[in-house]
Amino acid sequence: MAIVLAAGQGKRMKSKLYKVLHPVCGKPMVGHVLDAVERVQSERTVVVVGHGAEAVQSYLGHRAEFALQAEQLGTGHAVKQAKALLDGEQGITLVICGDTPLVTSETLAQLMELHVRAQASATILTAELEEPTGYGRVIRDNDGSVLKIVEQKDCTPQEQSVKEINTGTYCFDNAKLFAALEQVTNHNAQQEYYLTDVVGIMKAQGETVQAFCTDDIGESIGVNDRLALSEAERLMRERINKRHMLNGVTIIDPAQTYIEADVEIGPDTVLEPGTSLKGRTTIGADCVIGPNTEITDSFVGERVQIKQSVLQEAVVGSDSSVGPFAYLRPGARLGEHVKVGDFVEIKNASLDDHTKVSHLSYIGDAKVGKNVNIGCGAITVNYDGYNKSVTEIGDDAFIGSNVNLIAPINVGNGAYVVAGSTITHHVSDNELAIARERQVNKPGYADKIRARAKAKKERES
């Protein structure tokens, strides 16, 4: 079981967005916490909500049960709100804050393992900080077990010198947790009900309280302001980049590469500086991405090259190339061996295998077949001011430069559309379509134009 504390407004964030919903590497902090909790196979997870309850519940959906802390009276009071759901349950309850996005499932598993091995009633996740100001101190007994936790404002000078701090993550015997919470008072500097007081109560009853000290001090970060949010972002980004590099991805400059938490990348892919991979993006093996490329919620196959381009909700098949300076908007779907070149925009359109759109073109609301060549400056005219219409181009067609295809329209297999044409009628298979004015040359007329211009200039002077 797990209780996630997510009721705080986070006034120091100075934001309309509730604290636990602030993203770290593309995912709300409480989402990272739920991920870690789920990986240790918590059978039931209760999220305690307060400020922004509806927004938090909307984001988490069916991933958790919810308890409301209508008035924020401290961490002990917050945990107590879960009593109606978990009272009477037997086993271990993990208590964790929703603003600690860097806590890992591996550390939680080690915490729980120590808790079981020591037959403890409570086990605390701790860390040692060179500068522990602001954190509750973990005071150990002579035998190394935990004697008590003292909040910063209640510390004596001797207690303030202790460097081991409470991270706010715990394992408890569920029944003993709620029994001890009934004895917690608010007789302290903050006049709040501290969850940490449960430790002293259990010790007074002769219970065993243990602590597991994590080696990763980043896991101790609770995000309360934008400075801490920035630090969490930096540490998470380093962690993500390291994981991908250990899995066979080359990142030329990790300091200039941004990869969000849910991105997947195949081995032997190279990420150039300025690459930004967001959302649920998947990149296959042996690709070269970047420099200065942003890909969001997209799928990229194997052996793909994407340079200085933007992709959103797009699909790129294997052995294709995109860019530089291309824009693949939502619904863009490229087959295999497709080339999309510089200053090309694709929107809600599919391009089948071996098709090329090399320069300065817009393809929107279209279905393009195999082995099609679309020339420089060609566009599908898909919007009449009221409705979007579809253009269909068959296999092996050739679309010349500066062609306007006025949708809805079909261009058949093997058809040829002459450069500079504006096509308003369907073109059947293997037909040639030309739709432009016949060229007329007027001998000597250029000299007349220059003479008129010269005469006008002389009159005006």
The set of catalytic residues is: 359
Q: Which residue, among 40, 30, 55, 203, has the nearest Cα to 124 in the 3D structure?
A: 203
DSSP characters for 309-377?
-EEES-EE-TT-EE-SS-EE-TT-EE-TT-EEEET-EEEEEEE-TT-EEEES-EEEEEEE-TT-EE-TT
Q: Please give the structure tokens belonging to residue 397.
A: 């067609």
Q: What angle do CA 333, 269, 354 make, to 5 degrees?
A: 35
Sole residue written with tokens 């420089």: 376
Separation in Å, CA 434 to CA 325, 360, 371, 400: 30, 21, 21, 10
In a 3-state reduction of DSSP, which class is residue 58? Answer: helix
State CA 266 to chain mean position distance: 18
The number of CA neighbours under 13 Å toward the Cβ of 30 is: 29
Give binding residues as ranges: 5-8, 19, 69, 74-75, 99, 136, 151, 166, 224, 329, 347, 362, 373, 382-383, 401, 419, 436
- Rounded Cα distance between 422 and 111, Å, is 70
Sole residue written with tokens 């009272």: 87
- Rounded Cα distance between 68 and 99, Å, is 17
Strands, DSSP E only, in 216-332?
A: 250-251, 258-259, 264-265, 270-271, 276-278, 282-283, 288-289, 294-296, 299-300, 305-306, 310-312, 315-316, 321-322, 327-328
Q: Is the peptide bond before 273 cis (omega within 30 degrees of 0)?
A: no
Q: Which residue, among 263, 324, 326, 325, has the nearest Cα to 296 in the 3D structure?
A: 263
Separation in Å, CA 276 to CA 219, 279, 331, 343, 378: 25, 10, 20, 19, 30
- Rounded Cα distance between 361 and 342, Å, is 9
Separation in Å, CA 217 to CA 132, 205, 235: 11, 31, 10
Give binding residues for Mg(2+) as ranges: 99, 224
- Rounded Cα distance between 30 and 132, Å, is 24
Give binding residues for UDP-N-acetyl-alpha-D-glucosamine as ranges: 5-8, 19, 69, 74-75, 136, 151, 166, 224, 329, 347, 362, 373
Q: Which residue, among 5, 7, 10, 1, has the nearest Cα to 229 in the 3D structure?
A: 10
